[in-house]
Amino acid sequence: MRGRFITIEGTEGVGKTTNIDYIKQWLDDNGISFVNTREPGGTPLAEEIREVLLSNREEQVCSKAELLMMFAGRAQHIDQVIEPQLAMGNWVLCDRFTDATYAYQGAGREMGNALIESLETMVQGSMRPDLTLVLDVPVELGLERAGKRSEPDRFELEKTDFFNRVRQAYLSMAEKSPERYKVIDASNSLVQVQQQISLVLCNFLNKHQDEISSQ
């Protein structure tokens, strides 16, 4: 049976790294074989594109160039990693995917959704994640947490308004499709956040197992 595709999303400083480690452990504990990957990135070529996208530069990067680079990396990542792994029956756990494009380029950069929808169809066909966890914290709290880490990259230099648009876009995608998106309140304590994640994953795994046994 084809593997399942799980993506993790959120604005800056929501704790993706720590919680992805938790999810990896959970998948291991449940005997699920999976690969963990990320966007932008996930293959040598797509990681090169990531460096170009994140590095601070004097030249202004126009929104369309940024959008096309996101999808260029994604096309390579799907072709080389995501699709072959799913086809082999492995699960794929991906740190960000196309929802980040809707949130950051569509809403953050105010490009709207139409262009993104057509690129999504071109690059992915009908392929979409099976489950998307949206880690949510108020923007100010996230930026404060993120600011304590390393030097800000080109996105982290954006203003609070930008990240408020990004956050709202994630929440509105989740509201429209509650079957696929699960919003996790990541401003709670780590233990509480991980309890919420574990509940979502248990429900998802049960559904998956029901599907297998009905085949």
Which region among 29-37, 81-89, 97-105, 119-127 touches ligand TMP (by CB under 6 A)?
Answer: 97-105
Binder of ligand TMP out of 22, 26, 155, 204 (CB under 6 A): 155
**Binding of ligand TMP by 70 (CB under 6 A):** yes
**Binding of ligand TMP by 40 (CB under 6 A):** yes
Query: Is the C-alpha dihedral spanning 176, 190, 93, 207 positive or negative?
Result: negative
Nearer to ligand TMP, 22 or 155 (CB): 155
Binder of ligand TMP out of 34, 104, 170, 181 (CB under 6 A): 104
β partners of residue 135 = 10, 184
Binder of ligand TMP out of 96, 165, 167, 182 (CB under 6 A): 96
**Binding of ligand TMP by 100 (CB under 6 A):** yes
What does the DSSP assignment read for 50-114?
HHHHHS--SSPPPHHHHHHHHHHHHHHHIIIIIHHHHHTT-EEEEE--HHHIIIIIIIIS---SH
With CB under 6 A as the rule, give the number of residues binding ligand TMP. 11
Residues 93 and 35 sit within 8 Å (Cβ to Cβ):
yes
CB of 153 to ligand TMP, least distance (A): 7
Nearer to ligand TMP, 166 or 201 (CB): 166
CB of 47 to ligand TMP, least distance (A): 11
**Binding of ligand TMP by 77 (CB under 6 A):** no
CA distance 163 to 104: 8
Nearest to 4 by CA among 98, 121, 93, 124: 93
Q: How far is CA 2 from CA 5, 88, 130, 137, in A?
A: 9, 7, 11, 33
CB of 56 to ligand TMP, least distance (A): 12
Rg (CA), the chain: 17
Nearer to ligand TMP, 37 or 85 (CB): 37
Residues 125 and 83 sit within 8 Å (Cβ to Cβ):
no
CA distance 77 to 99: 15
Q: In the window 171-210, what residues touch ligand TMP (CB under 6 A)?
A: none
Chain residues in the site for ligand TMP (CB under 6 A) = 38-40, 54, 70, 96, 100-101, 104-105, 155
